[in-house]
Chain A
Amino acid sequence: MNLLYSFCIALLAACGVYLLLSRNLLRTVLGVALLSAATNLVIFFAGRLGFTQPPVIVEGEEVLRAGAANPLPQALVLTAIVIGFALVAFASALVLRTYRALGTLDGRKLRAAEALGTPFSDGGRDDA
């Protein structure tokens, strides 16, 4: 079971890295989103998988029962999901803005920062 889970996380991370290396800017953002999903699964995995009860205190008791799941990784995953959501939202807005400024989503056309401080006196070569 653990092995299957690890393979799935590895597959997800591999897809994320493949997308991250893509030329299309939006695919890069999708790659980041997939990688953060894989990382969330790793955090969840760190809390040990198993058939347990949800970590909710039963009505009338004071502490968690012995067979309940570990609530800490779930809290960590929630935090990571919220942060990841904010970052992917910002990155998507950035890509949209770049598309509106450049007219294309091709990463090879993204040369403005290099041209701004280029040490070559001809302003850098644009060969795309």
Chain B
Amino acid sequence: MSVRTVRTIWLRELRSYANSPNAWVIAAIFLGLSGLSFALSVTGRYPEATIRGFLFGPIGPIGAFFLTILLAPALTMRLLAEEQKLGTIELLLTAPVRDIEIVLGKYLAALSILSSMYALTLYFPLLLFAFGNPDVTPLLTGYLVLFLVGAVAVAVGLLGSALTANQIVAAITSLAILLVLWLFNATAALGSPDDAWTDVVTFLALSEHIRDMAFGVFDTRDIIYFLSLIVFFLFLTVRAVETRRWR
């Protein structure tokens, strides 16, 4: 694999994000709503010096995790769908470039944008330090798990974008996959507590692996879970790009 090719594609996509209003609007929505969540959680009747309000949201599910799941498909929908629509994929796939290099370049570009959005929220913990005495571990693991959820969401988003030339269809497809991943454990209620089904859906659900880390408990099994999901969806994306050649 050629790092240079990945870098070339990554840089092009970054510039493309910077030049289109899309990424800026998404960043504004994310920063606005997650900032509101944070503000509400630290000014409420029982203020706490944590970022849990920012991550999960004090009202409904509108915290950073859920916003990531809603907004990542909008961020990634263009990446491969537009190439198919414009036909530029024909030049990309006939250049001496591996399919995985294309996928990684685009993946890293979207992940870089998402990470920058997360980085811009780092003043929340700084405020906590300025006005209170927060626990450091949950801050670190909280941001780590947020980044991992973002990395999964972008991988799913890229897969959706590889499957179709229509950006809207791409966004809806990836949002559907992410919502299923997120809400999987709700189906556990259908079985009895020690059912095999309960175990499976509890293991697969995104939200099950978020909780511990968001509260400061670091578990390598959670890390492995997230990394496997990322690899799995990127692998599917590469396959989707490959089959694009047969269509």
Are A and B subunits of one complex? no
